[in-house]
Structure 1
């Protein structure tokens, strides 16, 4: 039984309704790939924005590795997906560096997770067809 993890930006525990940059925390769900059933397994607090106390001068530079967006993405690096009401390009790029797929979606959490499960199934079908075609041409 395969499982995957999803972070959800929510302020009511019912809807995906918070922008990535405004989320103080993310509800983390574990989803069964076959049945689509899911359960909340934790609440992950977003790291604090740099307060300048690091002393290495990085706070004044625009290096991605030292940005608050990068820190927030790194905090979610062990997950498969992040669902937010809205994501900017920097958030998407920061998450992608950790192989986390990000989607902006404004739906109830159960519907949003169902859409992710459907996406995963369709993606697996497409990859299977491509692999089948490749095997035929070899």
Structure 2
């Protein structure tokens, strides 16, 4: 049974409803790919909270590895997906450096994770056809 892990930016524990740059923490869920069942396994606190104004240089930092955006992405590097209500290109770029797929999707957490499961199955099917 394959399992994967998803970080969710939420302020109510029920909906994907927080912008990546505004999230002080992420709820982390472990998902059973076969059954689609999931459970919250931890809360991952962001090491440096971005206030959304990019005043810390996160959005235009020339030294990317010193930006709070990079630190936030590195903190999620062991996960497979990050779900936020919104995320900018710098967040996507930082997460991609750690092979974490990011999606902006404002839905209830259960629906968002179900969509990720469908996405994973489609990717697996297409990969099988290419072999």
User: What's the TM-score once normalised by structure 2's chain length?
Assistant: 0.90
Q: Which residue of 2 aligns with 1:26?
A: 26
Q: Which residue of 1 aligns with 2:125?
A: 125
Report the Cα distance in structure 1 between the residues aligned to 2:111 and 2:2, rounded to whole angstroms: 20
Report the Cα distance in structure 2 between the residues aligned to 1:14 and 1:104, rounded to whole angstroms: 16
Report the Cα distance in structure 1 between the residues aligned to 2:113 and 2:103, rounded to whole angstroms: 11
**How far apart are 1:62 and its partner, in Å?**
2.3
Report the Cα distance in structure 2 between the residues aligned to 1:17 and 1:79, rounded to whole angstroms: 19
Runs of 4+ with deviation above 4 angstroms: none
**How far apart are 1:130 and its partner, in Å?**
1.1
In the alignment of these two chains, the number of paired residues is 121
Report the Cα distance in structure 2 between the residues aligned to 1:49 and 1:75, rounded to whole angstroms: 12
Give 1 or 2 for the bigger CA radius of gyration.
1
Report the Cα distance in structure 2 between the residues aligned to 1:110 and 1:65, rounded to whole angstroms: 33
Structure 1 unaligned regions, length at least 5: 51-60, 132-138
Structure 2 unaligned regions, length at least 5: 51-60
Report the Cα distance in structure 1 between the residues aligned to 2:62 and 2:95, rounded to whole angstroms: 17
User: What's the TM-score once normalised by structure 1's chain length?
Assistant: 0.85
Q: Which residue of 2 aligns with 1:54?
A: none
Report the Cα distance in structure 1 between the residues aligned to 2:104 and 2:49, rounded to whole angstroms: 22
Report the Cα distance in structure 1 between the residues aligned to 2:99 and 2:83, rounded to whole angstroms: 14
